[in-house]
Amino acid sequence: MELRHLRYFMTVAQEQSFTKAAEKLYTAQPSLSQQIKDLEHEVGVTLFDRTTRKVKLTDEGEAFLKYAALTLDNAKQAVAAARQVAQQKNNQIHIGFLNVAELKLMPSILAQLRKNIPNLKIHLHSLTCTEQIQKLRNAELDICFTRYKMDHSDYEDIHILTEQIYLVAADNLHPSERTLKLQELKNSSVIMCEQNASPIFYDKLNVLVPFEKMDDQMLWVTNVLQHI
């Protein structure tokens, strides 16, 4: 059994279609179908029910799915560990950061790194939170400066900065004689960061501000708050 068989199996299970899975894998559908048949032959059970309109996992396929996912995840971790060792041998480090960190953190951090490890090769990558986490998991980054907290035993999270959030509003929404209540923003249009740019930041603001029809009332502009 090869890892590619497991990847094919996972993709078909996710897409519930050999056609869509083949497109996603950039392979021909007959070839993909044959790979799945070879996998079923090796495992000795039928993994997919092909009689319904959508391709569905059999009970045996459901049981196989859990361990196939674990195997692929372990394979990624193995590759990541090997890459990390190789980078350490080459005396280099790959750092991912958000735009806000570039101004507030990176100058002092880079100065310290160059002072303490003068021969270190530093590679900088300006990325969104989502991009950073994906590259960290693939061992393409060694350190991330992100709003995302990993909560995983393989990673260490260090809180280094607390950001303040400011609302820039028209005079009628921000009278000087009293404090503006969040509920008063309920029917207002707001410009804030795009969800893909910083999911954690987006989610916290979404919980904080009580909008009823967010899609209709909000205009998404990437990184607007970071530049105010």
Of 161, 159, 162, the closest CA to residue 151 belongs to 159
d(CA 195, CA 28): 35
Average pLDDT, the chain: 78
Question: What is the pLDDT, as a whole number, of residue 223?
Answer: 34
- Res. 217: pLDDT tops 50: no
**Arch. (CATH architecture) of 91-145:** 3-Layer(aba) Sandwich (3.40)
Q: Which of 16-30, 163-177, 207-221 has the highest mean pLDDT?
A: 16-30
Token pair listed for 79: 């590759």
Residue 80 CA from chain centroid, whole number = 16
State how far the alpha carbon of 209 is from the alpha carbons of 182, 193, 223, in Å: 6, 13, 18
State how far the alpha carbon of 182 is from the alpha carbons of 122, 187, 188, 206, 214, in Å: 43, 11, 11, 12, 15
Which position has the token pair 């750092």? 95
* Sequence ranges of the domains in the chain: 3-81, 91-145, 171-227
Q: pLDDT tier at 9 (50, 70, 90 boundaries)?
A: very high
94 compared with 225, residue with greater pLDDT: 94
- Res. 214: pLDDT tops 50: no
Q: Give residue-wise pLDDT tens across range 19-50.
A: 888 888 888 888 889 989 999 999 999 999 88
Question: What is the pLDDT, as a whole number, of residue 222?
Answer: 32
33-37, 165-169, 173-177: segment of lowest average pLDDT: 173-177
Question: What is the pLDDT, as a whole number, of residue 226?
Answer: 37
Of 105, 203, 195, 91, the closest CA to residue 158 belongs to 105
- Res. 88: pLDDT tops 50: yes
216 compared with 154, residue with greater pLDDT: 154
**What CATH number was assigned to the domain covering residues 3-81?**
1.10.10.10
Q: What is the mean pLDDT of residues 139-166?
A: 79
